[in-house]
Amino acid sequence: MKQLKSLLIAAVLFAGVSQTAQAQAKVAHINVTELMTNMPDMKAANTQLEKITKGYDTDYNTMVDEYRKKAAQYQKEASTQTDAINATRSQEMDDMQKRIQDYQQNATKELQKKQEDIYKPILEKSRAAIQKVAKAKGYQYVLDASTGSGVLFAEGPDLLADVKKELGF
């Protein structure tokens, strides 16, 4: 009877320990910002976005220069023109200023949209590689160890090198 009791206690303890071991999830971390910064695809995307930005900047600066030239000309000629002409010129300057502001707002929106479109496949590619490496190594959770991501202490396995290898760089 004593042996049966001991055996039963041992079985219950063993079952409890195995349940605790199964309940603990395997966790790893990766600095996603560092991964993304080092990806060759991201470097090409940034170059592409810089070209687009320069195009918008060039157009914007051309519009501003034209506005300044007209403003200087109209101000210089204002004393020799009639009130009606000065009022028309003032309205023209207001319209130009509005077009410049509208262009700037639209360019910003378009640039953000292009950035999202360009970065989306790169983000998906990195996420897929992280998931593949995590599954292959048996991790249930992978935390982002980038600065400001909320991970305060990351001593566990770092998957950055493995994910870089998976992505081929």
Q: What is the CATH number of the domain that holds 34?
A: 3.30.910.20
The more confidently predicted of residues 20 and 44 is 44
Residue 6 lies in a domain: no
**pLDDT tens, 102-155?**
999 999 999 999 999 999 999 999 999 999 999 999 988 888 888 877 664 556
Structural domain boundaries, residue 112? 25-167
Expressed in angstroms, the distance from the first to the final Cα of the chain is 65
Specify the number of domains making up the chain. 1
Query: Is residue 101 a part of any domain in this protein?
Result: yes
- Per-residue pLDDT band for 60 (boundaries 50, 70, 90) equals very high
The reply to whether 114 falls in a domain is: yes
99 belongs to a structural domain: yes
The pLDDT score that the predictor gives to residue 14 is 56
Q: What is the mean pLDDT of residues 16-32?
A: 69
Q: Please tell me whether the overall predicted TM-score, pTM, comes out greater than 0.75 for this model.
A: no
Q: Which pLDDT belongs to residue 102?
A: 97
Q: What is the DSSP letter of 28?
A: E
Please check whether residue 7 lies inside any domain of the structure.
no
68 within domain boundaries: yes
Assigned domain for 3 exists: no
By C-alpha distance, which of 93, 103, 98, 100 is closest to 71?
93
Tell me whether residue 140 is in a domain.
yes
Burial class (CB in 10 A: 0-12, 13-18, 19+), 36: middle
Q: Percentage helix, strand, coil, to 5, in the chain?
A: 80, 5, 15
Q: What is the mean pLDDT of residues 11-36?
A: 69
